[in-house]
Chains A and B, each alone.
Chain A
Amino acid sequence: MDDLVKDFLQESTENLDRLDQEFVQLESDPGNLELLGSIFRTIHTIKGSCGFLGFTKLEKLTHAGENLLSQMRAGELALNQEIADHLLEMVDAVRGVLQEIRTTESEGAEDYLDLIERLKKFLVKGSSPGTKGVSAQIESARAETKPDSSFTSAPSPENEIKKNEIAAAQSQSSEAQDHTETAASSSNAEASRQKKIGKSVVVPGRIGGILVRQGRVRPEEIIRALQMQEAGDPRRLGEILVQLGLITERDITEVLADKRTPDSSEAAIRVDVNLLEKQMNLVSELVLLRNRLLQIATETNERNLNAAVHGLNYVTSELRKNVMKTRMQPISQLFDKLPRIVRDVSKDLGKKIKLETQGGDTELDKTLLEAIKDPVMHILRNSMDHGVEAPQVRSQKGKPEEGTIRIRAFHEGGNFHLEITDDGAGIDPDRVKQKALGKGLITSAQAEKMAETDLLNLIFLPGLSTAEKVTNVSGRGVGMDVVKTNVERIGGLTKLKSDRNRGTTVWLEIPLTLATIPALTVISGKSVFAIPQAALVEMIAVDADDVHKFIEKIDGVSIFRFRGTVLPLMSLAEELKIQGSVSSGISKIVVVRTEGRQIALLVDAIRNTEEIVIKPLDKRFKTVALYSGAAVLGDGRVALILDIAAFAHRAGVVSARREDSAATADSQPRERLTLLLLSGSDGERLAVPLDFVQRLEEFSPSDKELMGGLDVVQYRNEILRMVRLEDLLENRRARPRNPQNPYASAPAEKISAIVVRSKGPRNVILEVTRILGIVKVEIDQMTPPSRPCVRGSLVIQDRVTELLDMPALLAKSQAVQLDSPLLVPSGTEAHHVS
């Protein structure tokens, strides 16, 4: 159904309810012009909307009422009971038509001409009310017994809602009520009039009405059954109908089931958003109190208390769920506004743009819906303005003249996702780079190292977006930082992907609700801080002994080596100048991500994870700009919520590896690898995926010991097997070596080695000739391997490099270890063993 019609229905229904009251009030106080004015306006509004929406019958009906009211307002006509009756009848008739529209989307067959005529007769120009009164009464009585009119009037929603509740709770008694009511209302005009004033009349939602509407029985048959009831048949209407063989039991059950699911617009009530807001806050408080109680209950271990608290726990969770549900709104509320904007803007720009939306029924918390409104508009305008090209440009490029913008909403992973795709020109990363360089946002050294996706993400930087020129040049960027900030403020993520000439996609990922979010709480000094779980990647504890291997300082900047990536490391205590920070020897590092970038945060301790309610922080703290809010924790303590994006900016992270960047969503089957480059004994290049490398170490030759004929080293309280990489690889040239002293050819004082992660019980130390460095490569093509334990060859830094097949290599080393305990001293050709 059209939203306009829906709104009209809801609004009118509400207005009609008020009319009922006002008419009754007016009857006891006929001189109340204010009341009369209000009634007049209500009817007038409905009439106006009807004309607008094309409901001509309804318009005529309300028009008749309006004329009467108009005369009354002018003092030409005095309200008497008869007129009131008729006006109320009109209200009921309007209600009936509204119900008809609601169910069938049309006004229905009844045109109420009779009623309109009667209403007209009351007008002062017409015959005297005295003589007319009688005939009107008769006509009215006739109208009442006519099935259509008696089934299409509706009671006030209060009654209806109450009845629905009752219906749900005690269906039996409700049914009985339905039937008697139907019977009563059709009995005579007087009774029906009284009932109307008392606001309880027959409704089409009642069983007889439904049966007629669904075409299961003819109206006359209902009347017959009703007459039987009037004649004293104590049975219910349904029973009579079944007994008459007009319907089956199944009809009844189906109809009753139908009846109990009330029409959404009828059962809906309008609630002030502020009230909902308050309710939500209270529920949030309740959740916190429950959390505290749970903690206390766990500590005291009192059985009764525990039981009560668990009950409370359940109820609170349910309550929270329900309250949150009341706030959910379909995204179509936003979508519905977009076609108009697209139409207007594309006309202004002289472009042809088609908008496609998908997933309009996806629901989102109301406040979040409001919060993403502006960002979405922004992205959409950007797409139209800078993304989609002018028609002639498009046809030159071989694209259809009409550009398409697709907006798709969906739920995934407990989050709300919005995807805005255009098939426009895309963003030129080079231009973004030039602009960023020009603005001094990045250094040229940084720019060199930046991947394309990182360059694109520069458009989210504030400096880049505020400048008008960038908009014109880079094709995008107006307020993209605002988009990002707004989305991150509500705990969401913004991602962007762009292909030159193929288009741009912006993703928004937003939590379903702001009510509570899971968060990790950490400690620095005496303070507790919360990190939203969504930003959390990993927590790592590093032993004091190993700190130097994981953490390095380069030019005063701390770097954390993590799974082959290098992340900027920030100490929370240092950044926030927190006094009394204690490091317990083991460094606790929390790896977090924002905008696809990762940073490492050094904290004193990790506390736990808990559900927190985000409370906005006073704007006076905005100057600090490192917190996204505050939260009251389960124990009553207050924690500041860290704004991870702000920390990333503070860290000056412009480029870092993007684990989940838009690039991974790319359909191209490229493999991105970080490789450790090695030099073989012959100077050949070898590469090991860094994922397999745990540490790089140096040993002195004297560290090497023999155990069961195998080379081992003592390493971190473990005895690890040491294998020469050379020995695991088949060397075609088989350069002669001295088997007695295999290291004679390697007179180096240090042995370079890699500690390799192994799936087996022990890691393996791989002795290598030389470590050259680390490179990041995108592998799209590889020459097939020329020897075992090699995945293939590729060109890295202009050199042919063999990429080692680590699983195979490890398997081979394990085989050496397990199957050949009596292997001749190391240095023997390993491939003999395999």
Chain B
Amino acid sequence: MSAKHRYSTFFLNGICFGVPVEKVQEVLEFQHITPVPLAPPVLPGIINLRGQILTTFDLKTRLNLSSSESAGEPMMMVIQTSEGPMNLVVDKIGPVLDVETDLFERPTETLKPSVRAVTTHVCKLDNQLLLVLDTEKIVRLPDDEDAADVRPDAAMQSAVH
């Protein structure tokens, strides 16, 4: 029997993403983000989490996904990184999933580069794909983010479905 890994999942534009459950500090209802004027769009601002200032990432912008599809109030997921806790804005929080290592696959070439760059592996689940993201890479912002990726969002959609 192969080892099991536990992932905390969330959705962006209907796509299921996951991060190792031990990296997740907590999940928050959407709360007010204090904007940091002139900061890049991927960083909509900062939040006050019990007196601690957390940098907030718009994960969709970070992964270069279109921001149109968010239905309803987004959610927040606070992850632990080597630089301390960081706050991610996601569409929806999914269940915690146990995945056997058998199901791990390397991220396919067809993934959007902006997504592939931060994806450690893909898990083929019964009814969907789970993209496991590298929390350290998510919060590391590439300098040439805009230049690197020009592929339309549709490509991503077809790639993962």
Q: What is A's interface to B at a CB cutoff of 8 Å?
A: 284-285, 288-289, 527, 576-578, 615, 617-618, 620-621, 623-624, 626-627, 630, 632, 636-640
Contacts and interface: CB of A to CB of B under 8 A. Distances in A.
Contact of B48 (A289, A577, A621, A638): A638
Given A618-B46, A626-B37, 14 more contacts: A577-B37, A578-B37, A615-B53, A617-B46, A618-B43, A618-B83, A620-B43, A620-B141, A621-B39, A624-B37, A624-B38, A627-B36, A630-B53, A640-B34
Nearest to A639: B34
Interface in B1-53: 34-40, 43, 46-48, 50-53
B53 A576 contact: no
A138 B92 CA distance: 83
Nearest to A613: B51
A576 B48 contact: no
B54 to A, nearest CB: 9
Contact of B40 (A288, A623, A637): A623
Contacts of A626: 37-38
B38 A636 contact: no
Main secondary structure of the interface of A (DSSP, over half): mixed
A294 to B, nearest CB: 16
B55 interface: yes
A618 B86 CA distance: 10
B34 A637 contact: yes
A618 B55 contact: yes
B36 A636 contact: no
20 contacts: A527-B34, A527-B37, A578-B37, A615-B52, A618-B46, A621-B36, A621-B39, A621-B43, A621-B55, A623-B39, A623-B40, A624-B36, A624-B37, A630-B34, A632-B51, A637-B34, A638-B46, A638-B47, A639-B34, A640-B34
Nearest to B56: A618
A261 B48 CA distance: 44
A637 B35 CA distance: 11
Contact of A527 (B35, B39, B55, B141): B35
Contact of A288 (B39, B51, B141): B51
B73 to A, nearest CB: 19
A341 to B, nearest CB: 34
B14 to A, nearest CB: 28
Contacts of B43: 618, 620-621
A153 to B, nearest CB: 49
A189 B8 CA distance: 68
Given A617-B46, A620-B141, A630-B46, A638 B39 contact: no
Interface in B36-85: 36-40, 43, 46-48, 50-53, 55, 83
A630 B37 CA distance: 13
Contact of A636 (B46, B48, B52, B55): B48
Contacts of A637: 34, 48
Contacts of A578: 37
A636 B50 CA distance: 9
Give the size range of B's interface with the partner: 10 to 19
A576 B46 contact: no
Nearest to B37: A576
In the A-B complex, the 5 residue pairs with the smallest Cβ-Cβ separation, listed nearest first, are A576-B37, A638-B34, A618-B55, A285-B51, A624-B38
B120 to A, nearest CB: 22
B143 to A, nearest CB: 10
Nearest to A624: B38
Nearest to B50: A285
Nearest to B55: A618
A284 B141 CA distance: 30
A288 to B, nearest CB: 6
A287 to B, nearest CB: 10
A778 B53 CA distance: 49
Contact of A577 (B34, B38, B53, B141): B38
Contacts of B53: 615, 617, 630, 632, 638
Contacts of A288: 51
Contact of B38 (A576, A620, A630, A632): A576
Nearest to B38: A624
Chain B CB within 10 Å — which of A288, A577, A637, A640 has the most?
Answer: A640
Contacts of B35: 527
Contacts of B37: 527, 576-578, 624, 626, 640
Chain A CB within 10 Å — which of B34, B37, B48 has the most?
Answer: B37
A332 to B, nearest CB: 34
A615 B53 CA distance: 7
B42 to A, nearest CB: 9
Given A288-B51, A615-B53, A632-B48, A624 B39 contact: yes
Contacts of A621: 36, 39, 43, 55
A639 B55 CA distance: 13
A620 B50 CA distance: 21
Nearest to A626: B38
A525 to B, nearest CB: 9
Nearest to A578: B37
A630 B43 CA distance: 15
Contacts of B48: 632, 636-638
B134 to A, nearest CB: 17
A527 B35 CA distance: 7
Contacts of A617: 36, 46, 53
A627 B52 CA distance: 17
Nearest to A282: B51
Contacts of B38: 576-577, 624, 626
Nearest to B45: A638
A640 B38 CA distance: 12
B55 A620 contact: yes
Nearest to B36: A621
Contacts of B51: 284-285, 288-289, 632
B144 to A, nearest CB: 13
Contacts of B47: 638
A284 B53 CA distance: 13
Contacts of B40: 623
Contacts of B46: 617-618, 630, 638
Contacts of B39: 620-621, 623-624
A714 to B, nearest CB: 44
Contacts of B55: 618, 620-621
A264 to B, nearest CB: 34
